[in-house]
Each structure stands twice: as structure tokens, then as C-alpha cells.
């Protein structure tokens, strides 16, 4: 029986059967009948929208594997008219386009052809944990048409507000480049606001905000209209964000990791502001205002687990979405000295520690940026390379004890073998007890790091 006939007689109830749905999709793509594929995507859309998250996730991931070999133009042709097709295409772009560079903008803006891309429901249906990383440079304006830059801004603003683009300082810097390259005055005005915040020019920000809210004349007014200003920035799609989890105690400082002011209550009961991506002496702060709840909260301390891509100096790790088994095998063959040299080169620090003949693997110290380029920290690194296919407590205990006694903020445990549970638990417990941040980097993470910085 032909697929055309099957599609004419099946019901929505039939398509709720996930395995049956997959069989139809597989056959449609094997037969390469574009009209049938479009019709099938349309029919599944009505079921897809009202199905549970697990159904949606399996359907999208299944089709993604089927369409992966296709060219973008073919994919757009198949899916731009249906909700399922739109979700699939956006899912594909988030997976494949990152990092978004100047050279990819022409392809990226093809998302503007999607019929339902601006529908908030469509974006909510995307079953994805990955986000797009923006990595733009100043040649955006010279290598892309003005119309494409404007479309790119519109899509980026939409995706940013829906959590499909990473909420980081690099994203803000990339958006600023787009705004500055735009021809429309209103977009350049947005760029001026972003520029004033990222460069911490409070007087410039106040001058700009006064154009949309006349009552704001000084810092006191900024505090008074704090919530209202934030709402105005959100409604106009300026890429600000505020998450109470991004405000935390980091040793002797309170760090604001949001792209908006942190409103704080100091020890004397006065209200003050911390600029975006800036910090303040924590001993002077007692509460932080959460704009999302309207309440003052106690900021959280920053000790414990740190992921490698959360370290500003290693942030490009996010851009490496795929690692091959041979790349992991390459890493497993590295000696500690080779790992150390690569990491120091990444950090532009050539002060290589000399290992003694007795102890080939030791703790060495270095400096790196954690939150941003102004947040320089001391770190200690424990390395276990090819000589340790299994890292047990005996092989790492002395290193842990030495590391926690060092005047460092973060301790890294970098290993290319298998870290057993006892050693892992001991490392974590000792770091927490010593109030240190810690980062465990396994062979896959190390491969991503070396790939991200062209050290492989």
C-alpha cells in the first residue's frame, strides 16, 4: 500500500503510536518523496503539539537522525510550513549552527522563512538542552548584507528570550556587534544601551534610559524604577537577563553574573547597585533583590563543583559539541607534562613546573579567569595521565592533601583514565571542607578542551 493511501486513512489516534509513527517517517524518507514527507509532518504536527515531552523528544530526535545528511535548503523545503517541521529545523540549527560566526549568518537567517518560528508555542516545544554559542567578530558588517544582519538580530533576540542562546558575556558581546552593524537607528540605539551596560558606563546608561523613561535622572531613580526599567528592556528585546543563581558569594566577593544591575541591601540598611558582571565586598552585603520574585534574598556561597566550560579561560569548550573516539584515545596517551604544557599554552603561561624524578606527577599552580576577564583566580591542578589507567585513592591522596593546603581558589583534577568512586568522593569532600571550588576533567572533557583551543 502506498504512503499516500496510508496517509489518507490513518487517524490522529494512529499517530499517537510512537513506533508506527517512526515506521511511517522512515519509509517516507527512504522513498524520498518530498510531498509525502511534508504531508506526514503536517499530520503528525496535530498529535505532536498535544503529546507529552517524551513523545516529542523521541519524534524530533528520530527525524533529526533521518534528515542529518540533507542540505539546509532541502530541510527548509520539507519543514517550513508545519509546526513539527519548524520545531525540527530549529532543533537542527541549534545542534549544527553553533557557534554562530559571521560566516554562518547567511545560513542562520534562513530561519526567518519558518511559518511558526515567532510563535512562542513552537519554541516551547523544542526538546533541547543545547544552546547556541555566539562567536562574532567586527567584520560582520562588511561580510553580510544589512537585511541579513537585521534578520539575524530578530532571530537572536527571539532565541535569547526563549533560552535557545547561551546567556553569557560572550553572547552579549556578539549581540553588541550585531547592533552596531545594523543600519536601522532603533537597533543601534539598543546597541548603545548594551554597550553602556557591558562597559559599566552608568552615566551613559542613565542618559539613554531617560529617553524612554523621563523620570530616571540619576542613580537614585534607577533604584526607584529598577523593576520598571528591567521590564522595559525585556519588552524591547534588549538581551538583559537576571537569575538569582547567578548572584553568589565567591570567597570575599559578591559576584553579579547577570546582564542587569543587582540591587543589594548593605549592612547599614542602604540599597545600592552592583553593575553587570561586577563584584562587591561581600562583608558589606546582607541581602540581594530578586527581580523575578520581588523579594530580597540571601546570596548563595560559591564553593563546590565548577564545570570546565563555566571557567572563562576555557569557555570555548562549549563550542565543541562532538568528540570522536580516536580523539579521546589520543588524550589517553598523553603524559602529564604534555597535558600541562597544553593547558599552560591555552592560558598563555609558559612558567612550566619542573617535576622531580621521584614524583613525576605533582600539583602545580597557575592563574586563570573564572567569571570574566577581570576575575583572575589562583588554581591548583592535579594531573593523572597515561600512567594511570585507573585513578584510585592511593594514587591521588597525597596530591589532594597538598592541593587543599595551597592558597588557591579552585582545584582541578585532570585525569585520562578511570577515576574510581572512592577517590572521587575523597577529592570532593576535601575540597568542600576546605571551601574550595573544584573541577573534575575526564578524558572526554580534556579532548574537548584541546580541540577547542587547537592543541590536538
pLDDT in tens, 383-409: 999 999 999 999 999 999 999 999 998
pLDDT for res 219: 96
Reported as a single tens digit per residue, the pLDDT across 29-83 is: 999 999 999 999 999 999 999 999 999 999 999 999 999 889 999 999 999 999 9
Mean pLDDT of 285-309: 85
As a whole number, mean pLDDT of residues 294-315 equals 84
pLDDT band at 358 (very low <50, low <70, confident <90, very high): very low
Instruction: Give residue-wise pLDDT tens across range 94-126.
Output: 999 989 999 999 999 999 999 999 988 899 999
| Cβ–Cβ < 8 Å for 384, 391 | yes
Summarised one tens digit per residue, pLDDT across range 263-289 is: 999 989 999 999 999 999 988 898 899
Torsion of CA 378, 384, 386, 391, to 10 degrees: -150
- Please report which confidence band the pLDDT of residue 143 belongs to, taking 50, 70 and 90 as the band edges: very high
Contact 447, 323 (CB under 8 A): yes
A 10 A CB-CB count for 405 gives: 11
| pLDDT reading at 326 higher than 90 | yes
* Beta carbons within 10 angstroms of residue 317's beta carbon: 21
Range scoring the smallest mean pLDDT among 205-214, 375-384, 421-430:
375-384
Q: Sign of the C-alpha dihedral, residues 286, 288, 289, 295?
A: negative
Q: How far apart are the C-alpha atoms of 447 and 456, rounded to whole Å?
A: 8
Q: How confident is the model at residue 431 (pLDDT cuts 50, 70, 90)?
A: very high
Arithmetic mean of pLDDT over the chain: 92
Average pLDDT on 345-359 reads 51
Percent of all residues in the chain with a pLDDT value above 90, rounded to a whole number = 79
Quickly state the pLDDT bin for 357 (edges 50, 70, 90): very low
Average pLDDT on 135-140 reads 93
Q: Are 196 and 205 in contact (CB under 8 A)?
A: yes
Q: Which residue is it, cell 512562542?
A: 120
**pLDDT score of 120:** 85
Determine the distance from the C-alpha atom of residue 378 to the mean position of all C-alpha atoms in its chain, rounded to a whole number: 24
Cell 524520498 appears where? 32
Give the residue among 369, 364, 350, 354 at the shortest CA–CA distance from 413.
Answer: 364
The whole-number average pLDDT for the span 309-332 is: 91
Give the integer Cα–Cα distance in Å for 435 and 418.
26
pLDDT of 343: 94
For residues 216-238, average pLDDT: 97
Q: How confident is the model at residue 302 (pLDDT cuts 50, 70, 90)?
A: low
Mean pLDDT of 199-212: 96
Q: Is the pTM of this model over 0.85?
A: no
Q: Which phi and psi angles does 318 have, rounded to 5°?
A: -60, -30
Measure CA 133 to chain center. 6
Domains of the chain are 3-181 (no CATH), 185-235 (no CATH), 244-302 (no CATH), 305-452 (3.40.1340)
Amino acid at each position: 500500500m502506498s504512503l499516500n493511501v496510508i496517509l489518507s486513512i490513518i487517524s490522529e489516534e494512529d499517530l499517537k503510536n510512537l513506533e508506527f509513527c517512526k515506521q511511517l517517517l522512515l519509509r517516507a524518507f527512504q522513498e524520498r518523496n518530498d510531498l509525502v514527507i511534508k504531508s506526514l509532518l503536517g499530520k503528525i504536527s496535530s498529535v505532536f503539539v498535544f503529546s507529552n515531552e517524551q513523545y516529542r523528544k523521541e519524534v524530533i530526535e528520530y527525524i533529526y537522525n533521518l534528515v542529518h545528511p540533507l542540505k539546509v535548503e532541502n530541510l527548509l523545503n520539507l519543514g517550513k510550513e508545519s509546526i513539527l517541521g519548524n520545531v525540527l529545523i530549529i532543533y537542527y540549527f541549534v545542534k549544527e549552527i553553533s557557534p554562530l560566526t559571521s560566516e554562518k549568518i547567511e545560513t542562520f537567517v534562513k530561519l526567518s522563512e519558518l511559518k511558526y518560528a515567532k510563535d512562542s508555542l513552537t519554541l516551547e516545544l523544542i526538546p533541547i538542552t543545547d544552546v547556541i554559542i555566539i562567536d562574532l567578530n567586527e567584520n560582520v558588517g562588511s561580510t553580510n548584507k544589512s537585511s541579513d544582519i537585521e534578520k539575524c538580530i530578530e532571530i537572536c533576540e527571539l532565541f535569547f528570550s526563549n533560552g535557545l542562546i547561551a546567556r553569557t558575556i560572550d553572547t552579549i558581546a556578539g549581540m553588541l556587534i550585531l547592533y552596531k552593524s545594523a543600519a536601522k537607528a532603533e537597533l543601534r540605539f539598543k546597541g548603545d544601551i548594551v554597550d553602556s551596560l557591558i562597559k559599566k558606563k552608568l552615566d551613559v546608561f542613565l542618559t539613554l534610559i531617560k529617553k524612554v523613561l523621563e523620570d530616571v535622572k540619576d542613580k537614585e531613580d534607577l533604584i526607584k524604577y529598577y523593576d520598571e526599567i528591567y521590564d522595559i528592556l525585556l519588552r524591547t528585546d534588549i538581551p538583559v537577563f537576571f537569575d538569582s543563581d547567578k548572584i553568589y558569594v565567591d570567597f570575599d566577593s559578591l559576584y553579579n553574573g547577570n546582564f542587569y544591575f543587582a540591587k543589594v541591601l548593605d549592612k547599614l540598611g542602604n540599597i545600592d547597585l552592583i553593575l553587570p558582571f561586577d563584584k562587591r565586598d561581600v562583608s558589606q552585603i546582607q541581602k540581594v533583590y530578586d527581580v523575578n520574585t520581588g523579594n530580597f534574598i540571601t546570596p548563595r556561597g560559591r564553593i563546590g563543583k565548577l564545570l570546565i566550560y563555566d571557567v572563562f579561560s576555557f569557555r570555548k569548550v562549549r563550542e565543541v559539541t562532538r568528540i570522536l573516539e580516536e580523539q579521546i584515545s589520543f588524550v589517553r596517551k598523553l603524559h602529564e607534562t604534555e597535558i600541562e604544557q597544553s593547558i599552560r599554552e591555552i592560558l598563555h603561561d609558559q612558567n612550566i613546573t619542573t617535576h622531580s624524578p621521584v614524583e613525576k606527577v605533582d600539583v602545580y599552580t597557575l592563574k586563570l579567569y573564572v567569571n570574566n576577564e577581570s576575575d583572575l583566580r589562583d588554581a591548583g591542578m592535579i594531573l593523572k595521565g597515561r600512567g594511570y589507567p585507573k585513578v584510585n585513592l592511593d594514587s591521588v591522596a597525597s596530591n589532594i592533601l597538598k592541593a587543599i593546603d595551597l592558597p588557591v581558589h579552585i582545584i582541578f583534577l585532570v585525569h585520562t583514565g578511570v577515576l574510581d568512586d572512592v577517590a572521587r568522593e575523597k577529592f570532593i569532600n576535601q575540597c568542600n571542607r576546605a571551601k574550595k571550588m573544584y573541577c573534575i576533567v575526564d578524558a572526554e572533557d580534556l579532548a574537548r578542551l584541546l580541540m577547542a583551543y587547537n592543541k590536538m
